[in-house]
């Protein structure tokens, strides 16, 4: 029987085995290894993963640019959770003869996380819980969402759900993206505006764009100043959509009321990072997709991808 080595990487919570029967792959001649700690560099990732024929990656936790893929000479199958992964160079994978397969995912996890962060920020939940545990009682005053204006940058599948949540909370909804049509915005319960208008008129702006050369740094000093001293920025999409240096300055100098974030330029967020010390933030460690429902689809789908490839009938291929 042909023998393969499979690496499940970035299993931070050490739960991959709870969502798929990986041990059963021994019957197919596959030895499975699990890596729970993040790789601190590309060199460390290459050194650890060089022996493996199959890698199961969790979202963009580990990057696979051309230089990494060219160093993984044994790699034949790379499975990513989800059906898109900006951290994988698909062209380089194809040139190396590496098949990249994806999985399904939960449509509810990320938008629910977005709304959780917004509510936590609006009602000072983190601050109030910490003060309560310290023996204090009612130390801050929150704000309500009803009657406020929500600006959505990127009205795709997630953005449309967010628009629905906002309408249910009695908010007015604005939307903008480079290719957004007025009719599509109206169908989602939003009003299409210019980027400048969105940041100037919104009380809260939430980002729901894919990261690309066109969208990197799409929120910078100009947009943050337009958002104003009472404005709130929510980012559960990708950290580099926001100019981090500009955001830190905005928080320190009070250009905006604050930010609630689940994603960062560097992940895990380094100890001592300026965002960790800002009193104007609510932060979470990129857990927008970390739910039982999502993991069942991610790890279950990854297992299906591996089995299909072993049987010579690959599924959900993302490259040629």
Catalytic residue numbers, as ranges:
238, 267, 286
What residues have CB less than 8 Å from 45, skipping those under 6 apart? 39, 62, 68
Looking up tokens 């050369």, which residue turns up?
213
Question: Please, which residues bridge with residue 152 across strands?
Answer: 175, 206
Instruction: Kindly calculate the radius of gyration of the chain based on its CA atoms and give it in whole angstroms.
Output: 21
Dist CA 49 CA 76 (whole Å): 12
Q: For residue 56, which of 29, 114, 16 has the smallest C-alpha distance? A: 16
Residues 6+ apart with CB under 8 A from 215: 209, 241
Residue 10 region by backbone torsions, left for phi larger than 0, else alpha for psi between -120 and 50, else beta? left
Q: SS3 helix, strand, coil % of the chain, rounded to 5?
A: 40, 15, 45
Tokens 């990986």 correspond to: 22
Going across the sheet that includes 281-283, the strands are: 191-192, 172-176, 149-153, 204-207, 232-235, 258-261, 281-283
Q: In the chain, how many H helices and how many E strands?
A: 12, 12
For residue 129, give every residue at least 6 positions away whose Cβ sits within 8 Å of its Cβ, in sequence order, or none.
Answer: none
Tokens 């299909």 — which residue? 308
């Amino acid at each position: 029987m042909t023998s393969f080595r499979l690496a499940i990487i970035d299993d931070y919570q050490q739960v991959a085995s709870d969502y798929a029967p990986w041990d059963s792959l021994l019957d197919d001649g596959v030895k499975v290894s699990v890596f729970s700690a993040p790789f601190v560099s590309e060199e460390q990732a290459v050194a650890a993963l060089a022996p493996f024929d199959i890698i199961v990656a969790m979202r963009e936790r580990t990057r696979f640019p051309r230089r990494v893929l060219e160093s993984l000479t044994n790699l034949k199958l790379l499975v990513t959770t989800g059906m898109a992964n900006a951290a994988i160079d698909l062209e380089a994978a194809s040139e190396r003869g590496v098949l990249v397969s994806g999985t399904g995912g939960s449509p509810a996890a990320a938008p629910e996380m977005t709304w959780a962060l917004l509510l936590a920020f609006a009602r000072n939940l983190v601050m109030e819980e910490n003060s309560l545990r310290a023996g204090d009682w009612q130390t801050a005053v929150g704000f309500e969402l009803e009657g406020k204006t929500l600006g959505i940058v990127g009205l795709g599948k997630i953005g449309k759900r967010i628009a629905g949540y906002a309408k249910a909370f009695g908010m007015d909804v604005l939307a903008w993206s480079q290719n957004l049509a007025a009719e599509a915005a109206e169908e989602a319960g939003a009003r299409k505006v210019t980027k400048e208008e969105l940041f100037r008129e919104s009380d809260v702006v939430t980002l729901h764009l894919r990261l690309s050369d066109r969208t990197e740094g799409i929120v910078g000093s100009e947009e943050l100043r337009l958002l104003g001293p009472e404005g709130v920025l929510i980012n559960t999409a990708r950290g580099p959509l926001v100019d981090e240096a500009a955001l830190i300055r905005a928080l320190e100098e009070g250009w905006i009321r604050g930010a609630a974030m689940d994603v960062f330029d560097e992940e895990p967020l380094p100890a001592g990072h300026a965002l960790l010390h800002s009193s104007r933030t609510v932060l979470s460690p990129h857990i927008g997709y970390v739910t039982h429902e999502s993991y069942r689809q991610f790890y279950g789908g990854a297992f299906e991808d591996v089995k299909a490839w072993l049987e010579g009938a690959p599924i959900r291929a993302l490259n040629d």
